[in-house]
Structure 1
């Protein structure tokens, strides 16, 4: 598969950890020879956004601190960037320092609080916004829905002075996540149907059917749609791929009037779900364009199918600007699955950014006191352990208690 790569000498781990490209970009923006026009507010705002997207929060912060002039977009970029990286306290600090708050930054912060489960704080901020637009209302409704508070979401939805297709899509998706198909369908039938939103509403219902495994309902809706966009086709390809019906997934893929990277990745993921790594690899190499999700999907497929060396080489071949937290977590998981905790620890220490998944993955590789030490560090840094991590910690604690009791019995 990676025949050329296999003939190469195995690369040491440090060779896989180059300087993040955003840091290099940061240095070039600071360079004395950099012409003034490359350091205007627009360029710096774009650089800040780029840093946040790659998880290089410190570079984004440094660029912001060194900017001689900032505009409202700059402040919005900082708030949204911190929210996207789940650094809600930093987002709030920047928001409080804004010389003129606006609905964009307010909506981003509302969404951030909600994603972190801090719904009361999200609502408090929402209530303080003087002029709310539809995006702001949608952020709060989505926050309630994400936290399982569907009745609150519906009450706020009913209070909206103006709704758009996104508003209806949020509520339809929320009902379907709770398996309330009747309510979702009733709202779908009630929604206004301007040409600009009817397809997106159909897609929301279609996606819900697929997630619930209601393939016949999905097929019926897809067949009745007057206008299908690329999302509609991608959802159905995913539906068939998940069910192991790759012949139908391939047929739809071939029939699509236009394909995007998501379309290719959906088929790729289908092959990997069905353990057809050779077909996946062939498709991956034939793809006209690849994004981070594509690379991560292929890497994850290698790891899941016990082909970690191929995953590691693919990580090295991946363009630096495409690597994200999922890429790093995938390789970390590969080391842990192999039981290579020395390299897992080293790799974890070199990660430019860590998520709850990073910590939980590393802890899952230990069975002794190291798990307790890591859990303590994890909590101190503001991350939440998942059920698997808690199970490991409980097991370690019970083992320690049992050992202590045995020693006590021996002494007595």
Structure 2
């Protein structure tokens, strides 16, 4: 049976389009140099903050949207997010003589991104089950990867005309708003944590033992996966394996593979079921060891390819696991908490990884990769034992209710 058979495309297409813009501002990295030339009196830190502010705003906003989903329908939250991104995108077109207008623009875009990162996955959790849910997570990831690549090219061309014209890409948000308004169902309100008559049941429905475990795991996975980006260039340079262009070629396999894996994630979930996350950990762990011991550019390219496979499985599968750990009406808050912990793990990645590496000797890119790989293998054992012993009736990768009953009997 095809993994795409249970997908309702009138819901999936708007969500895939939303996925394109949930991280679209990363494509504006090519514009920063031109902005710095226009505002030579401004500090490099202020110019760089134009790109980093959306990521910073995303953390508190994603937590807020998890709470708002108990009071506002997911469709309306999406429409608000897209409207915020559109306003943020067109502001520099109207006011491009002030760097502070760009800061305000980044804040508005960050608010939109924070909403979309949480709500897009929560919509999929509400409308799809089993393998179809995992498949839609993969498709959203693939759409986001393709969209980001396309937007990077488009902003580059528009920037040639004038730096601020790169923001014209945000006019593409308008048709997404229209399609969302027409096709996306309103959705159900999530469970309330507090309120009259709620008591402790609201907290219990969200903070399940499985979610607590997954939140700890999310922090560690964010920390370990980001070790690739913070250590690969340093490791290659220290070994004399190439300059920035060679590093770009070697790591490009990661982005391409992640997109391709997203398209077939449903088949992977069907095959490995509750051990899918353990599979991702094994693959990424092995990739780090390949990269740590690499002595030529070919080995680094292979390591980057293997990492891309593991990361392509881990990112959407981790969200799938979070969604399966709570009821449908608690998904938004569960996703928002877990994504905040991923961001925290990413922020602390260099500090923790280097501190551990220092205990064993020299701190450099290669030792960082080795430490991250070793921790991944430890987590692999923990995750495999948990699934085999404590999560015997997991619904991960199960296609339908009949299959679930067969597992329980």
TM-score (norm 2): 0.21
TM-score (norm 1): 0.21
Higher RCO (CA < 8 A, seq sep 6+): 2
Higher helix share: 2
Larger radius of gyration: 1
